Amino acid sequence: MASARRLGLLLPLLLSLALLLLAVSASGSMALDSAAAAEAGDGGGAPAGEPSAYEMLEGFGFPRGILPEGVTGYTYRPSDGAFEVFLGGGDCEFDVDGGYRLTYRRRIYGNVEGGSIRNLGGVSVRMFLFNWGIDRVVMEDAAHLMFYVGPLSQAFPADNFEESPRCRGRGCGGGSGVGDGDGGAAAAGVAAM
């Protein structure tokens, strides 16, 4: 019972990534190369005049907090739903309430189709001495997402993801993690579960 509750604290963060991927798929085909990403600075992975990944999410009704700060680019291939999201500076890590560490790899990938994400790679959560990846994310309705992590699943309200968390360590511009006592306001909506 306690382990399911702890998993429930982590799933909102993992879900945020899945929502980003859904938004990218709905936006059509958009690819940003490394030169364009470098020009973008902190613009969420978009060249001047193009929507950032964060603005893209907001344009589709998703909260920006489903994606951590530090996106430098993304690609989407409509023919099979394959996508990639790129974070600057390497892997992005932050601690979440409950003593868990969430890791977004520099490259996050998977397939998006019809309200679901499958074959997701590049996102893990450290729990019970193991790293667990998200297997699938499904939009249950406009206000809820269902996340699948191994044999477990959990639904979460979309409004838990109002602000993007800041990473610490090697990637995502440094800064504090979620729930570590310094910078928690940047991700208060994410860690509220």
**Which tens digit of pLDDT belongs to each residue from 2-14?**
444 444 544 444 4
Q: What is the pLDDT of residues 95-110, one digit of tens each?
A: 765 566 778 899 988 8
Residue 23 token pair? 């938004």
Contact assessment for residue 71 and residue 52, using Cβ atoms and an 8 Å cutoff: yes
Contact assessment for residue 55 and residue 49, using Cβ atoms and an 8 Å cutoff: no
Is the pLDDT at 174 greater than 60? The verdict is no
151-178 burial: b if 16+ Cβ within 10 Å, else e: eeebebebebbebbbbbbbebbeebbbb
Contact assessment for residue 175 and residue 93, using Cβ atoms and an 8 Å cutoff: no
Is the pLDDT at 137 greater than 70? The verdict is yes
Long-range (24+ apart) CB contacts under 8 A made by 3-9 are: 3/127, 3/128, 4/152, 6/98, 6/100, 6/127, 7/127, 7/149, 7/152, 7/154, 8/154, 8/193, 9/96, 9/97, 9/98, 9/100, 9/191, 9/193
Q: Concatenate the DSSP letters of all residues of 56-72 into one string.
A: HHHHTT--GGGS-S-EE
Domain boundaries, the chain: 2-187
Q: How sure is the predictor about 112, in pLDDT bands with cuts at 50, 70 and 90?
A: confident
Between CA 73 and CA 88 the distance in angstroms is 9
Residues contacting 84, CB < 8 A, separation 6+: 74, 75, 107, 108, 109
pTM beyond cutoff 0.95: no
Residue 7 token pair? 């998993």
Give counts: helices (H), strands (E), the chain.
3, 8
Give the pLDDT confidence score for residue 42 in this predicted structure: 52
Mean pLDDT of 148-168: 75
